[in-house]
Amino acid sequence: MHRYEKTILEILKKKQKSDPDSLINAGGLGKDETLWALESLSGKGLIEITRENEKQVSLTEEGMQYVKEGLPEMILLKRLKEGTIPIKNLGDKRSMIGLQWAKKKGFIVISNGSVLLSDKGVNALERGIDTQKDMEAIASGNTVKDIEELIKRGLAQESSKNRVSMVTITRKGIDAKLNEVDESLIDSVDRKLIATKGWEGKNFKPYDIKLEVEKPVPARRHPLSYTIGRIREAYVSNGFTEVSGPIIDSAFWVFDSLFEPQDHPARDAQDTFYIANADETEASPEAYVNRVKKAHTKGWKYRWSLPTSRETVLRTHTTSVSARYIYDIISGIMEEGKAPVLPIKLFSTGRIFRNENIDYKHLADFYQTDGIIIGEDLRLAHLFDTILKLYSWLGTEIRFKPAYFPFVEPGAELYAYSKKSSEWMELGGSGVIRREITGVRNGKISVLAWGVGVERLALIGNERLKGISELYNNGLGWLRKSGD
């Protein structure tokens, strides 16, 4: 008798009958070892195995495709969000499938040859479609109550699996002696066995490939950690050097040094976390403080306050890190004999804090990555070319939209295309740093800068994520299904 068999039979002599999970817990064996022992004991007539058919549901190839891209009716609803669509413009097969199911579910109204959203359709856009949620649940290994529609549409299929449900010891098993353990069978191979040739004169335990085995759980990186790692690879591969700065900082570096006026709405307590009774933050260079004061007074035409600039905040962007390095590097360039080799390419990635309401794509505590290039005669074209190369390396499609930011001129917002939601999602901002910040009035030196939300990049790159708050889920089950 093998030691696995002895362990299981010893438990059954006391309990008479048991289910496999209880035997695994009581015996301290793995699932594979327990199932092998059960089959072997059954073959010897020492136990009786009760089996039952277990229904399993899996998605078809078409169903898996819809999990990634969205159901045809949802894609149609998103198109209708922009306005009515003539039926003649819905000629392709996917659109017609979406039209059929959207009409059946009452999501749309057809009037005068055009399709428009119904109230039910508007609600479906906000809350999601149950059929889509069911498919995502099945894809994640969870069970759902109603699969009739999925099977009818050919998006899911049922199969039966024969599994061991109960084990009962027989009279022969009760009378069997437990001290007769057969040590001649080798059930595992390790380094010691090979080095000592311990396998000589012994037989290997036979394998039954039909036995139910434990699902392997490979090591995975957390989706957020994976995204940050990919960002670092992209920057370093394109010649950038990583830098960092403090999370708790003065309003001077977070706002004032970036030419953001002291009455800007972003500096209100509704948008920024202020720290009361905080220790004094690192003092800023006096000459630079005076230069910033002069730029604010002249550019924004108000009375700049030194105490306001010394308030302590949780940084609202990693651009405060960039601001420090822009000052240090350009100050060195302006001083004779200290000019570095240009261009200088830097990036930072770290946590930032904003007093925001949490939703599908907003958090109050999240990660941002910033990049800057300091060089000669740099223009907006250089900025766009650099960003496109970086995010092409990450497999992300980027487009730009003109936008205003206090610290750049000209400026542009960055948008990335999300295949899951079929929409362009805002990632961050970019532009050419203003002369008021660099202090370079009559020279060729210019600075390009951009900042991007890391969680949004992760959301776009991982189609299994339903929202960025999911990235802070610590459940092992979720991590095993949502890793890289």
pLDDT of the chain along its 484 residues, tens only? 777 888 888 888 888 888 888 988 888 888 888 888 888 888 888 899 888 877 778 888 888 888 888 888 988 898 888 888 888 788 777 888 888 889 989 999 888 888 889 989 888 888 888 888 888 888 877 778 778 888 888 888 887 777 788 899 998 888 888 765 556 677 677 888 888 888 887 888 776 666 666 677 777 788 889 899 999 999 999 999 999 999 999 999 999 999 999 998 888 877 899 998 776 667 788 999 999 999 999 999 999 999 999 999 999 999 999 999 999 888 877 776 566 788 999 999 999 998 877 776 678 889 999 999 999 989 999 999 999 999 988 888 899 999 999 999 999 999 998 877 778 889 999 999 998 999 887 668 899 999 999 998 888 877 777 777 778 877 777 777 665 4
pLDDT of residue 433: 94
pLDDT of residue 162: 75
pLDDT of residue 179: 65
Judging by beta carbons within 10 Å of its beta carbon (0-12, 13-18, 19+), is residue 433 exposed, middle or buried? Answer: buried
Q: Is 422 left (phi over 0), alpha (psi -120 to 50) or beta?
A: left
Say whether both 346 and 280 belong to one domain: yes
The CA distance from 181 to 76, in Å, is 67
> CB neighbours of 164 closer than 8 A, spacing ≥ 6?
20, 35, 38, 49, 50, 51, 212
Closest CA to 391 of 377, 421, 371, 373: 371
CATH of the domain at 93: 1.10.10
pLDDT of residue 56: 78
The CA distance from 294 to 279, in Å, is 27
Say whether both 94 and 242 belong to one domain: no
CATH of the domain at 190: 1.10.10.10
What are the backbone dihedrals phi and psi of residue 318, each rounded to the nearest 5 degrees, phi first? -85, 5
Q: Is residue 213 part of a domain?
A: no
pLDDT of residue 24: 86
Q: Is residue 278 part of a domain?
A: yes
Look at strands 203-204 and 185-186 and give their pairing: parallel
Say whether both 177 and 322 belong to one domain: no
Say whether both 75 and 34 belong to one domain: no
The CA distance from 337 to 354, in Å, is 41
Q: Is residue 473 part of a domain?
A: yes
Say whether both 322 and 462 belong to one domain: yes
Say whether both 137 and 170 belong to one domain: no
pLDDT of residue 472: 81
Q: Is residue 219 part of a domain?
A: no
Total domains in the fold of the chain:
3
Name the one residue in this structure whose structure tokens are 């089959």. Answer: 39
Last residue of a domain, one of 94, 127, 154: 154
H helices within 214-285, ranges in order?
223-237, 251-254
Judging by beta carbons within 10 Å of its beta carbon (0-12, 13-18, 19+), is residue 215 exposed, middle or buried? Answer: exposed
Q: Is residue 210 part of a domain?
A: no
Closest CA to 132 of 91, 85, 75: 75
Say whether both 47 and 105 belong to one domain: no
139: containing domain: 61-154
Say whether both 405 and 468 belong to one domain: yes
The CA distance from 453 to 206, in Å, is 54
Cis peptide bond prior to 410, omega within 30° of 0: yes
Say whether both 163 and 150 belong to one domain: no
The CA distance from 418 to 397, in Å, is 9
Q: State the pTM of this model.
A: 0.60
Last residue of a domain, one of 132, 154, 176: 154
The CA distance from 460 to 336, in Å, is 46
According to DSSP, the residues that pair with 351 across neighbouring strands are: 367
The CA distance from 59 to 212, in Å, is 21
Helices (runs of H) and strands (runs of E) counted in the chain: 20, 17
Name the one residue in this structure whose structure tokens are 């009581």. Answer: 26
Cβ atoms < 10 Å from Cβ of 69: 15
The CA distance from 365 to 453, in Å, is 11
pLDDT of residue 384: 96
